[in-house]
Amino acid sequence: MGVASSSSLLSLASHQHHSFPLTTTTFSSQIKTKLDSRSPFSFDPTSKNIPFESHLQLLAHSPTTHLSNCGFHWKVGTMKCGRLREMETEVGAVANTLLDLHGVNQDLVEKIAFDALVWSSLHGLLVGDKTAQRSGKVPGVGMVHAPFSLLPMSFPENQFNMACEVAPIFNELVDRVSLDGKFLQDSLSRTKKVDVFTARLLDIHSKMLEINKKEDIRLGLHRSDYMLDEHTKLLLQIELNTISSSFPGLSSLVTELHRNLLIHYGEQLRLDSKKIPGNTAVKQFAEALAKAWTEYNNPRAVVLVVAQPEERNMYDQHWLSSVLKERHNVTTIRKTLAEIDTEGELLPDGTLLVSGQAVAVVYFRAGYTPVDYPSESEWRARLLMEQSSAVKCPSISYHLAGTKKIQQELAKPNVLERFLDNKEDIAKVRKCFAGLWSLDDSEIVSHAIEKPELYVMKPQREGGGNNIYGEDVRETLLRLRKEGSEENAAYILMQMIFPSVSPTFLMRDGICHKDHAISELGIYGAYLRKKEKVIMNEQCGYLMRTKVSSSNEGGVAAGFAVLDSIYLT
């Protein structure tokens, strides 16, 4: 299978200049209809039942401008004219900040795509190829380039800076919330009754509270995800990931790839490689892990990467292990939860041994979804690690602090004030919050039944593919209302965010797709603390994910997402 994959790449070599597989799938007309029908402006701002008060206030200021703008979204080329401007680069050259990507000459696109595929293969921008049987188990077998966007996505510099600025505040917030065991238990108490997975996590948390377990060294490797709401121009948080924040490795590489492409093709594209901000996510995450390892203070101990039995995204994880080894001389071992159950033991002093090796830091890249716990064995492993003195990334408290229910609780009035002292920090964090509600709010539930396209319904799950959109929101809410069941505590409702749509080229399986897409920006953050001393609290690079807009999921992409970087405007 590996041969098949590499030969398909090789076959591109002979097609370098003329018959590169460029497909031009566009869904413009479908999406236009969709966009019009889901426009927040169909929402009556004078209505008494205004759920998104603050957002609507902003919307109400310039509805006509935005409405008329909506009509131009799909005319590639006109769409960004208003924002097209020129700027001086350091060398005095003139570069367009934004480019009509779909207007780029096809020969040039093919050349760039070919170079990009070669670059990603040579530099480890890779995932396991799902058509190769062993690609999720054995490194070096059945690899394919990770899906990526051919060129970076433009993004406003001030919004990017703001997202970077709040990262350390979110880091601190997670730490503070994690220390309030009662807040976590109380906030999730109703969810616990109807969601078995969350209940199991809470049970472990309760056990730790009972034995008064203290985590003196606390390590958080987070990623806060945002979408830029086109109409309000607000950068709104989608979610805060506190477990298994993925792609620090590959996102750093995509940034490198895009910078490289612009160094070579920037002049023709009239784009400046320096407008792509540097991305040191992998370096900083490795540094945080190494510092936590140092604080644990056992030179023979290792970092344990808790991995899924099959992991096609293993190279992203191997990048982190590799930087840890090469820059910090720290060894990692990879184990599944089941293996940790079999091979793990706890010494009387709290040391965690796995296959005889002391573990300084447990880094979870599994354990965030019920699928990772097919039997009691995996739960035993999770408990064993939690009871140990190893630094957990994340601890059970950090994990719970990142649940969607807690996100919704933190968005309630006066809750942030319980955890953060600085008023400016509170204001900055609050500004990122979209409308978030529990299903106890009957007014919001009624409104969501009436206008389901303005909401996303989310269960307490991580890892994608669990949310409910559009008509399904209405149906689920009506069913829950009819049954009057407790099940509604399993969900939260969130305001639907509508990012702008841009022309793009998406690379997948060696094929370049021309399409329109929306993007989600993730900002990484690392936090390390020993008792009262904060050792590290930093923003660490970013992840841009770009995906084709789809008409299936209430306007949110059901198509494919690719890794991307950003071009500051």
CB nearer ligand ADP, residue 223 or residue 514: 223
Distance CA 378, CA 340 (A): 8
Length of the chain: 569
Least gap, CB of 435 to ligand ADP (angstroms): 9
Q: DSSP strand E in 448-510: where?
A: 455-459, 468-469, 491-495, 502-508
The residue range among 202-210, 443-451, 458-466, 524-532 that interacts with ligand ADP, by the rule CB under 6 A, is: 458-466
CB nearer ligand ADP, residue 223 or residue 529: 223
| 459 annotated among ligand-binding-site residues | yes
CB nearer ligand ADP, residue 510 or residue 522: 522
Distance CA 296, CA 361 (A): 8
Q: Which of 202, 429, 432, 497 binds ligand ADP (CB under 6 A)?
A: 497
Using rule CB under 6 A, residue 464 touches ligand ADP:
yes
Using rule CB under 6 A, residue 401 touches ligand ADP:
no
Is residue 246 part of the annotated active site? The answer reads yes
Catalytic residue among 38, 223, 275, 514: 223
Distances (CA, A) of 425 to 58, 354, 360: 22, 41, 33
Is residue 239 part of the annotated active site? The answer reads yes
The angle formed by the CA atoms of residues 291, 293 and 299, to the nearest 5 degrees, is: 125
Is residue 458 part of the annotated active site? The answer reads yes
Using rule CB under 6 A, residue 556 touches ligand ADP:
yes
The residue range among 18-26, 95-103, 284-292, 453-461 that interacts with ligand ADP, by the rule CB under 6 A, is: 453-461
Is residue 224 part of the annotated active site? The answer reads no
Residues 396 and 208: beta-carbon distance below 8 Å? yes
Using rule CB under 6 A, residue 453 touches ligand ADP:
no
Catalytic residue among 462, 514, 522, 538: 462
The residue range among 149-157, 418-426, 461-469, 479-487 that interacts with ligand ADP, by the rule CB under 6 A, is: 461-469
Instruction: Taking the CA atoms of 415, 421, 427 and 433 in sequence, report the sign of the dihedral they define.
Output: negative
CB nearer ligand ADP, residue 187 or residue 467: 467
| 218 annotated among ligand-binding-site residues | no
CB nearer ligand ADP, residue 135 or residue 495: 495
- Whole-angstrom distance between the N-terminal and C-terminal Cα of the chain? 43
Using rule CB under 6 A, residue 552 touches ligand ADP:
no
Q: Total number of residues binding ligand ADP (CB under 6 A)?
A: 19
| Among the listed residues 231, 204, 228, the one whose alpha carbon sits nearest the alpha carbon of residue 544 | 228
Query: Exposed (0-12), middle (13-18) or buried (19+): which is 65, by Cβ within 10 Å?
Result: exposed
Q: Calculate the CA 506 to chain-centre distance.
A: 18
Using rule CB under 6 A, residue 520 touches ligand ADP:
yes
Residues 248 and 282: beta-carbon distance below 8 Å? yes
Catalytic residue among 246, 260, 377, 500: 246
Q: Which of 462, 515, 538, 564 binds ligand ADP (CB under 6 A)?
A: 462
Residues 444 and 481: beta-carbon distance below 8 Å? no
Using rule CB under 6 A, residue 463 touches ligand ADP:
yes
Using rule CB under 6 A, residue 496 touches ligand ADP:
yes
| Among the listed residues 554, 550, 552, 551, the one whose alpha carbon sits nearest the alpha carbon of residue 452 | 554
Instruction: Report the residue number whose CB is nearest to ligand ADP.
Output: 497
Distance CA 337, CA 358 (A): 16
Element (H, E) at 108: helix 106-123
CB nearer ligand ADP, residue 255 or residue 549: 549
Least gap, CB of 496 to ligand ADP (angstroms): 5
In 338-352, which positions are buried (b, 16+ CB within 10 angstroms) versus exposed (e)? bbbbeebebeeeebb
Distance CA 433, CA 236 (A): 6
| 408 annotated among ligand-binding-site residues | no
Q: Which of 129, 239, 311, 378 binds ligand ADP (CB under 6 A)?
A: 239
| 402 annotated among ligand-binding-site residues | no
Distance CA 57, CA 257 (A): 41
Least gap, CB of 37 to ligand ADP (angstroms): 15
Structure tokens at 185: 């238990």
Using rule CB under 6 A, residue 230 touches ligand ADP:
no
DSSP bridge partners of 512 = 22, 507
Is residue 85 part of the annotated active site? The answer reads no
Distance CA 225, CA 432 (A): 10
Instruction: Taking the CA atoms of 453, 455, 457 and 460 in sequence, report the sign of the dihedral they define.
Output: positive
- Mark the binding-site residues for Mg(2+), compressed into ranges: 239, 241, 462
Active site amino acids: 223, 239, 241, 246, 404, 458, 462-463, 545
Q: Which residues contribute to the site for ligand ADP (CB under 6 A)?
A: 225, 227, 238-239, 434, 456, 458, 461-464, 466-467, 494-497, 520, 556
- Mark the binding-site residues, compressed into ranges: 223, 239, 241, 243-246, 311-313, 317, 365-368, 404, 458-467, 469, 494-497, 520, 545, 547, 553, 556-557
